[in-house]
Amino acid sequence: MKKFSKIPNETNGIEIKKTICTICDPGTQCGLNLYIKDGEIIKVEGDENQPAGQGTLCSKGAATRQYVYNPDRIKTPLRRVGERGSGKFEPITWEEAYKEIAEKFNLYKEESGAESVVFFSGYTKFYRPWLKRLCHSFGSPNYLAESSSCYLSTYIAHKLTYGMRGDPSWAGGMKCAIIWSSNPYYTNPGAARVIENAKKNGVKLIVVDPRITPTTKRADIHLRVRPGTDGALAHAMANVMINENIYDKEYVAKYTYGFEEYKEYVQEFTPERAEEITGVPANLIREAARTFATTKPSGIMTSAAPVVQNSNGVQNYRAIFSLLGLTGNFDKLGGQMVSPSSFLHASGQFKSRQVEFRQSRPVSEMATRIGDTDYPVWKELIEEEGQAVALPDHIISGKPYPLRAVIGFGMNFRMLSESTKMAEALKKLDFFVDVDLFLTDTAKLADIVLPACSSVERSEFRCWGTGFATCTKPAIEPLYESRSDIDIICQLAKYIAPEDKLLASGFEPTLDWILEGTGMTTQELWKHPSGMPVPNPIKQAPLQCLEHGFKTPSGKLEFVSKVLEKYEHLGYDALPTYKPPKYSPQGSPEIAKDYPFILNTGARLPMFVHTRMYRVPWTNSLRPNPAADISPVDADKLGVKQGDKIRISTPLNSIEVLVNVTAIALEGVVHMYHGHSQADVNSLFDRDNSDPITGYPAYKSMLCKIEKI
- The item of ligand MGD, Mo ion, none sharing an interface with residue 483, based on CB under 5 to 8 Å by kind, is none
Q: In 3-state terms, what secondary structure has residue 323? A: helix
- For 100, 220, 291, 581, 602, the CA distances from 444, given in Å and listed in that order, are 18, 49, 53, 36, 24
| Closer residue to ligand MGD in complex, CB, 108/409 | 409
Torsion of CA 176, 182, 186, 192, to 10 degrees: -20
User: Which residues, 443 to 472, sit near Mo ion by CB under 5 A?
Assistant: none
Helix (H) or strand (E) holding 128: helix 128-138
Helices (H), 244-375: 249-255, 259-266, 271-278, 282-294, 313-326, 354-358
Instruction: Report the residue from 161, 470, 600, 689 that binds ligand MGD according to the rule CB under 6 A.
Output: 600
CB 362 within 8 A of CB 139: no
Instruction: Report the residue from 41, 285, 422, 609 that binds ligand MGD according to the rule CB under 6 A.
Output: 609
- The item of Mo ion, ligand MGD, none sharing an interface with residue 530, based on CB under 5 to 8 Å by kind, is none
- 288 is an interface residue for Mo ion by CB under 5 A: no
Return d(Cα 518, Cα 351) in angstroms, integer: 7
| Closer residue to Mo ion in complex, CB, 329/419 | 419
Find the residue with minimal CB distance to ligand MGD: 602
| Closer residue to ligand MGD in complex, CB, 7/212 | 212
| Closer residue to ligand MGD in complex, CB, 415/515 | 415
User: Which residues, 38 to 97, sit near ligand MGD by CB under 6 A?
Assistant: none
Site string for Mo ion, 366-385 (x = CB under 5 A): --------------------
User: Nearest CA to 92 among 490, 458, 447, 491?
Assistant: 447
User: Nearest CA to 674 among 661, 686, 683, 662?
Assistant: 683
Find the residue with minimal CB distance to Mo ion: 150
Which residues does residue 144 pair with via DSSP β-bridges, in sequence order? Answer: 120
Return d(Cα 252, Cα 182) in angstroms, integer: 28
Return d(Cα 594, Cα 82) in angstroms, integer: 43
Backbone angles phi, psi at 121, to 5 degrees: -120, 130
| Closer residue to ligand MGD in complex, CB, 215/256 | 215
Q: Which stretch binds ligand MGD (CB under 6 A): 297-305, 328-336, 348-356, 546-554?
A: 297-305
User: Which residues, 120 to 159, sit near Mo ion by CB under 5 A?
Assistant: 150
Q: Write down the least CB distance from residue 568 to ligand MGD, Å.
A: 26
Helix (H) or strand (E) holding 557: strand 557-558
Q: Write down the least CB distance from residue 60 to ligand MGD, Å.
A: 7
Could you give the angle at the alpha carbon of 30 between the alpha carbons of 28 and 33, nearest 5°?
165
Site string for ligand MGD, 329-368 (x = CB under 6 A): ----------------------------------------
CB 668 within 8 A of CB 401: no
Q: Write down the least CB distance from residue 669 to ligand MGD, Å.
A: 9
Q: Write down the least CB distance from residue 188 to Mo ion, Å.
A: 11
Q: Which stretch binds ligand MGD (CB under 6 A): 234-242, 535-543, 599-607, 630-638?
A: 599-607
User: Which residues, 213 to 242, sit near ligand MGD by CB under 6 A?
Assistant: 213, 225, 227-228, 230
Backbone angles phi, psi at 142, to 5 degrees: -90, 65
Return d(Cα 88, Cα 2) in angstroms, integer: 51
Helices (H), 429-521: 485-496, 501-504, 507-515
- 279 is an interface residue for ligand MGD by CB under 6 A: no
Instruction: Report the residue from 85, 402, 606, 651 that binds ligand MGD according to the rule CB under 6 A.
Output: 606
- 210 is an interface residue for ligand MGD by CB under 6 A: yes
Q: Write down the least CB distance from residue 50 to ligand MGD, Å.
A: 19
CB 302 within 8 A of CB 208: no
**Helix/strand/coil (H/E/C) assignment for every residue in 14-75:** EEEEEEECCCCCCCCCCEEEEEEECCEEEEEEECCCCCCCCCCCCHHHHCHHHHHCCCCECC
CB 456 within 8 A of CB 19: yes
- The item of Mo ion, ligand MGD, none sharing an interface with residue 558, based on CB under 5 to 8 Å by kind, is none
| Closer residue to Mo ion in complex, CB, 150/488 | 150
| Closer residue to ligand MGD in complex, CB, 338/616 | 616
Q: Write down the least CB distance from residue 694 to ligand MGD, Å.
A: 13
Q: What share of the chain is helix, strand, coil (3-state, %, to 5)?
A: 35, 20, 45
Task: Count the site residues for ligand MGD by CB under 6 A.
Answer: 58
| Closer residue to ligand MGD in complex, CB, 465/602 | 602
Binding site for ligand MGD (CB under 6 A): 24, 122-124, 146, 149-150, 180-184, 186-188, 208-211, 213, 225, 227-228, 230, 303-307, 310, 409-410, 412, 415, 435-438, 440, 452, 485, 600-604, 606, 608-612, 674-675, 681-682, 699-700
Binding site for Mo ion (CB under 5 A): 150
